[in-house]
Structure 1
């Protein structure tokens, strides 16, 4: 396959330049493209020719074909080049001494290896480019070709292939080591590169799809190495679980110098923005390996000028913005070439017979080649065992993703022969099978004391030489590959940090070939390893990468069924990690698994089950699954109350969890009563200054706020804040929560300036302590924007809301209650400032989201009807708007009572709707009643009360009661000017006699 590369520019200089054909093995494409780029910069024409002559074609004929091209032929040599075919050394030597020597003036060569080449290559006088810098390599290249080295260069763009291959990309992210035995796939790789380069910005996403063992990961890794000079950033992301995917993706952010925080959502948002802008690098490649669970794909996939490569078995990627590339088995010549290179004793006929038997599946060929290359077994004997189905009962068990019986038998032969010859290697291999497939932190076993290991396995921790030999054996036989990436930054690499990668097919086969007794022994060891590796502090975000590494191995190791106290505490810590890190979906599934297993040996009131319920409820609640959390917590509380001896803090915690559920479900009165019980118990058992007492006090403030009792909530929150500042200090996360609660109270009390001043300070500390994208920081920023809106500041409020919505969606997803609440506030602002189309879409989305999440009878779902009414009213559909206002008013009155601020807000809108539809007397009656109730509930100087006065004046004026209207209007204007200022939007609107309205800000607590 030849590719002509014309020199930049035109004219005499281009015509005077020489023509070179650069001949290379696909493995060395980066060098070939760099050589072409350098020659073109000196005014020469270059044709790239990837060369892989078929074994059945005589080598002399293939070289003769090269001579048909015009110009000189430059061979890019390495030991890999002479394995093409493959061909015997004598055949190469004969061709070099014959055809090449006869045309020596046409041929030249560069050498890319420090290993000895064939003696006959001396005729080519290859110049060594190994381990020299770019300038020296260019000088040697030009000198060998007899070209001047000091001439002026043509400026060429720094495009694909222009970087010197010995200079790695600026960021290189744990791409697997290059497989020096990688075979074939040249057309697939070249087509993949061409597609990515030609794709429009934002569409360069390709998914390599295929069955297990077909070579998807190897192809992705080879693409990264082969085309590394096309990119400035290459980042590999193990995507077996959502947790590891998010952690690994987020780790790219600090590598690009974006942020230093540890929270994954914060990093991912900043990373996506940087990748979208192409700043600091526009030429980036992200590789998501093993991404089968695609539920959150749209949130994770970046956009921008770079490229994305995915490997997966999930055909549902066809519904996403990606191009699918089906990865087939090897072509037959690729299969035989690989077998003969790995096991040189094989003849072409034998290699063809083996490839046919194994259906050209790469993983099966890797194993067969490794075994036949390392052992002296006759090919006929090997094929007989494969065909006779030795240990072929594996195939009858099913579950091997379409892998042929012959391949399974071949793996069985290898593992059972290793069991005879290398018992330590098989013990280590069986231990790996007690982990989950994929990346396995096998080095953790060396942290265990030998006394804690079962008899016969003590060597794993004490005999480093045996450990090294066993691991080397497994690598040599291609059973596992090494992965030395450390889980935590700052750890020195060594045996304790060593990891391997085990293919899922190999993992399954080894597990089924291990005896039940040995399997349980190895699972016990892994459980002990996981407990020993538990950092013990899931609240510390710096330790989250270690927890993400441990999480996939809980189930296969049997940790979920373990009765060991240390293992159970590790399981609980991983649930706490899921809650703290925002891995709610993973945590929900894990908690349900743990409950299913622990229920077999723990009664529901056991301390471990109580703690499990607490963590499961926390995760469900944070995930927005309020009803399941409520049922879980209610059942536990009823059981604890009915069982003697379960009072005290355990009962207090269960009551607190149920109160939280009730708040989210809109059962505000019941929640407040339960929370008062919690606080009373905490004060009695723990005292006023305990952490749990202050948490109970804070939650009491939340309950009062939801009931519209803002002044009482503020008094509670202020007391909690002062105590937390003393006991926990001002920069503690819980102290920041209390400060945010106080700011929220002040805003709802109508003290907008005080609220804004407090929240501005809290916002700065949130960013410093937790980072800009932490979920709590996002809540603080949301509250800050609401404070700024009520205070009448911030010119670009719409832009700020849109930016925050994007960040919140990145962290929580579009359907999370925090995101939906922000969607509503953004829609309210858009309507208020004239963008009715955007407002209509946002409010409709918000109303549907809350209705789906909370049900139609929840106070928030009901209150949303009022926002929908404001949209209809702005669109001129006044009768329909009034229907919405009246429905919201009736519904909230029934659930919250007539004096709740939300009810008063609905009444204000309903009075306006009645006025606009000509029902002036009815509007006046409702306005008088609303003003009276607002004065009682919120105070005479509250901005909402003053809005009620303005509305009443308008209704009076509509009935020609001008004297009373004037007095009420004047009083409202004076109070608004005094409390908010003459230039505040509320004051200006009142002076202009614009009908006041109330938009609903949904708040779940």
Structure 2
């Protein structure tokens, strides 16, 4: 079967084209030729096979220029890309233009869905041009290929051979047109094997339309039907369709036939109750002589991929990737333990095995991705790391819509498990965290139901926490508000997951600067958790800890210290003295005692806590290191600036050794060393160290993270202390603009920046 228009050709059943675009030899034709004997060679110019017509809204593209460069002087261009990007149309445009311009003596167009079709096309050309014997197609094909070679003393023949929609590079073994100074060759394929390159063949990737190309395509297509839409609406529609030429072409036909404008059609596209097949024209209404509807454009490629080694893994891998972000999935997500277990189970089911099958290994998962890449169903670029796997959104949609309901839900939960598994507890790589959040958002959009049944999937909580930890505090508050409202509706007010969303909502409200509001929210939550879970449940105790903390942040340091002291008694009773939560609470008591003014008591309490953490956890445990940092801080606040600097310097060395240079706690230690250099009188060195720290904060966390903004504040302060009051004022003015935008006018950092600006302006 052959697809024209902006689509690509696909093989028909049995591999023979049935579109009428080429003059195929059938039994009656062969019999007639045998009776009549070899025919006289056709006069030039001569065409074998029918070139597909140019699409109504064909768009010249940069790939066309690369094609021309590749074939000039006898080369071969191999156009490759996913189904629907318009490879056939580019080849057809080149064939039409060179033929009509009189630059060809012979043009041969073959729908090359399988080896038999290629041999048949060559044999047809051999019969028409070389007096070949039609009763022996293989010999006739060889005769034609030999005829294409330039011969001394013979009139040069300017020829072009197009092999459209090659489904397997092996089909062309021994059948590639020869290199010739007078001839040119073109092939289109969805495959990307290395075997397609070499011997003068150049691979040309045909990508999606640019936005400008897509808008021009839609504008031209609609204008042919006396329809006109603003460019902005056309750009939005093109984005929704992923700038895929075939999708744009078929969508235009649908909205014209249904008499819809772009906005109405876009609403249909996003209607989850409708499938892709229901918002695209049926086979009887396809434009530009196309033969295959968009929703079925990739099915043959998926079947072929699933038969390649590792057999039976390509389809389940594509299905798993279809649940995630089309713009990029980290390779580790699709090759982690949860993904591998799922692939193993799916391959076992497909094979009909009742017993255990060999486990799919990480290298098998990578090979499955390579197979999908070879057939242009995904883009697998391991070098990009965080976005190693990309799948066009329409390929994803067609894949999801082809899933049985129970498998759809299973896949959604598996994808969520794989994301949580790949999510680092400490987000050192902000770019990776952003990609993981994008994948969680995509999964939530594709499958909201399965992530909430029977309980809420951990990926929902991990994504929201990551959003806040990245410094997007307003976005985190909005996320948790939405999640809490949904949990309240679907699970009820007393479900543990609903209470957990309330906890996070209150926490990020406090982090956004509303400590009093957060304290009130935690107080209400505490009543509910005590009633539902009991007063000694870990969640109830954690709520008490957060309530105490937010009260302290709201200005009641003494109240916070007293509340943590009460909590410590209960944790000692419920958990024992060496439980991690008990040790954390001891640190909270010490810290808030110091904040309430009892600095000496804080120093003594942290010194005692350090001894116990060394005994229970060891010297290199993160909590032990944190306690050393807190002890150094309060020693400095007690007046021992030199002792604080010495302790922080030693702590920095250990954190560099244990955690590495980019860990958040290492950066915090650098912050404290810089600060205490300033406090001990070396303001110039403090400013220099904060400047170096800022570079790393920007690289690791980005410009809007609260810690980056805090480092800018310290850098401005110590530049001023070093004598550059004017520079400090400018820096605080710039900082105030940014914290107002990022954190809002009431956030403590904004208040601090405003006060610092006033100080240095005076």
Which TM class, normalised by the smaller chain length? 0.5 to 0.7
C-alpha distance 580-385 of structure 1, shift in aligned 2 (>3 A): closer
2:677–2:685 contact (8 Å) kept in structure 1: no
Q: Distance in 1 between matches of 2:405 and 2:263?
A: 20
Q: Distance in 2 between matches of 1:824 and 1:814?
A: 13
C-alpha distance 649-800 of structure 1, shift in aligned 2 (>3 A): same
Show CA shifts across 1:716-756 (max 9, x none): 22222222222222222222221111111122112111111
Show CA shifts across 1:4-30 (max 9, x none): xxxxxxxxxxxxxxxxxxxx9615979
1:785, distance to aligned residue in structure 2 (A): 0.7
1:676 and 2:565 aligned: yes
2:652 to 763, 767, 774: 763
Show CA shifts across 1:73-113 (max 9, x none): xxxxxx9xxx9xxx998999999859997689xxxxxxxx9
Partner of 1:448: helix, strand, or coil?
Answer: helix
Alignment of 1:386-785 (within 5 A): 398-400=267-269, 409=282, 413=293, 415=295, 437-438=326-327, 447-448=341-342, 481-484=377-380, 501-508=390-397, 520-530=405-415, 533=418, 534-535=420-421, 538-539=424-425, 552-558=442-448, 562-565=452-455, 568-575=457-464, 588=477, 590-619=479-508, 621-622=510-511, 626=515, 629-641=518-530, 645-785=534-674
Show CA shifts across 1:659-711 (max 9, x none): 22233333433323322222222122222221001111212233233333322
Identify the residue that residue 878 of structure 1 maps to in structure 2.
none
Q: Distance in 2 between matches of 1:725 and 1:30?
A: 69
Q: Distance in 2 between matches of 1:456 and 1:131?
A: 30
1:391, distance to aligned residue in structure 2 (A): 14
Alignment of 1:320-335 (within 5 A): 328=215
C-alpha distance 103-666 of structure 1, shift in aligned 2 (>3 A): farther
Show CA shifts across 1:231-264 (max 9, x none): xxxxxxxxxxxxxxxxxxxxxxxxxxxxxxxxxx
Partner of 1:55: helix, strand, or coil?
Answer: helix
1:560–1:571 contact (8 Å) kept in structure 2: no
C-alpha distance 663-733 of structure 1, shift in aligned 2 (>3 A): same
1:591, distance to aligned residue in structure 2 (A): 3.5
Q: Which runs of 5+ in 2 are unaligned?
A: 1-63, 76-92, 106-111, 113-117, 130-143, 158-169, 185-192, 221-237, 287-291, 307-313, 359-363
1:758, distance to aligned residue in structure 2 (A): 0.5
Q: Distance in 1 between matches of 2:458 and 2:761?
A: 55
2:99 to 45, 54, 58: 58
Show CA shifts across 1:543-597 (max 9, x none): 97896655632442235752335x6345445555556677767755553443233
1:847–1:864 contact (8 Å) kept in structure 2: yes
1:438–1:501 contact (8 Å) kept in structure 2: yes
Show CA shifts across 1:278-334 (max 9, x none): xxxxxxxxxxxxxxxxxxxxxxxxxxxxxxxxxxx7xxxxxxxxxxx776556999x
Identify the residue that residue 295 of structure 1 maps to in structure 2.
none
1:367–1:477 contact (8 Å) kept in structure 2: no
Q: Distance in 2 between matches of 1:739 and 1:680?
A: 24
Identify the residue that residue 880 of structure 1 maps to in structure 2.
none
Show CA shifts across 1:513-549 (max 9, x none): 66xxx66434322234236535398526699789665
Partner of 2:96: helix, strand, or coil?
Answer: coil
C-alpha distance 386-419 of structure 1, shift in aligned 2 (>3 A): farther
1:827–1:843 contact (8 Å) kept in structure 2: yes
1:805–1:822 contact (8 Å) kept in structure 2: yes
1:538–1:577 contact (8 Å) kept in structure 2: no
Q: Distance in 1 between matches of 2:753 and 2:428?
A: 40
C-alpha distance 578-102 of structure 1, shift in aligned 2 (>3 A): same
1:26 to 62, 66, 81: 66
Show CA shifts across 1:146-170 (max 9, x none): xxxxxxxxxxxxxxxxxxx99xxxx
C-alpha distance 463-638 of structure 1, shift in aligned 2 (>3 A): closer
C-alpha distance 733-27 of structure 1, shift in aligned 2 (>3 A): farther
Identify the residue that residue 8 of structure 2 maps to in structure 1.
none
2:254–2:281 contact (8 Å) kept in structure 1: no
2:491–2:498 contact (8 Å) kept in structure 1: yes
C-alpha distance 696-395 of structure 1, shift in aligned 2 (>3 A): same
Higher RCO, Cα 8 Å, sep 6+? 2
Q: Distance in 2 between matches of 1:118 and 1:634?
A: 77
1:435–1:526 contact (8 Å) kept in structure 2: no
C-alpha distance 407-633 of structure 1, shift in aligned 2 (>3 A): same
C-alpha distance 854-58 of structure 1, shift in aligned 2 (>3 A): closer
1:698–1:717 contact (8 Å) kept in structure 2: yes
C-alpha distance 853-398 of structure 1, shift in aligned 2 (>3 A): closer
Partner of 1:834: helix, strand, or coil?
Answer: coil
1:215 and 2:104 aligned: no
1:415, distance to aligned residue in structure 2 (A): 3.6
Alignment of 1:256-271 (within 5 A): none
C-alpha distance 606-416 of structure 1, shift in aligned 2 (>3 A): same
Q: Distance in 2 between matches of 1:670 and 1:573?
A: 31
TM-score (normalised: structure 1)? 0.45
Partner of 2:378: helix, strand, or coil?
Answer: strand
2:660–2:666 contact (8 Å) kept in structure 1: yes
C-alpha distance 63-793 of structure 1, shift in aligned 2 (>3 A): farther
2:678–2:685 contact (8 Å) kept in structure 1: no
Identify the residue that residue 249 of structure 1 maps to in structure 2.
none
Show CA shifts across 1:260-281 (max 9, x none): xxxxxxxxxxxxxxxxxxxxxx
Q: Distance in 1 between matches of 2:613 and 2:664?
A: 21
1:821 and 2:710 aligned: yes
Q: Distance in 1 between matches of 2:328 and 2:519?
A: 37
CA RMSD of aligned residues (A): 6.3
Q: Distance in 1 between matches of 2:259 and 2:740?
A: 60
1:386–1:409 contact (8 Å) kept in structure 2: no
Alignment of 1:945-956 (within 5 A): none
Greater shift, 399-408 or 575-584, is seen at 399-408
Number of equivalent positions: 572
Q: Distance in 2 between matches of 1:769 and 1:662?
A: 34
Show CA shifts across 1:624-646 (max 9, x none): 56566445423312333566834
C-alpha distance 646-855 of structure 1, shift in aligned 2 (>3 A): same
Identify the residue that residue 134 of structure 2 maps to in structure 1.
none
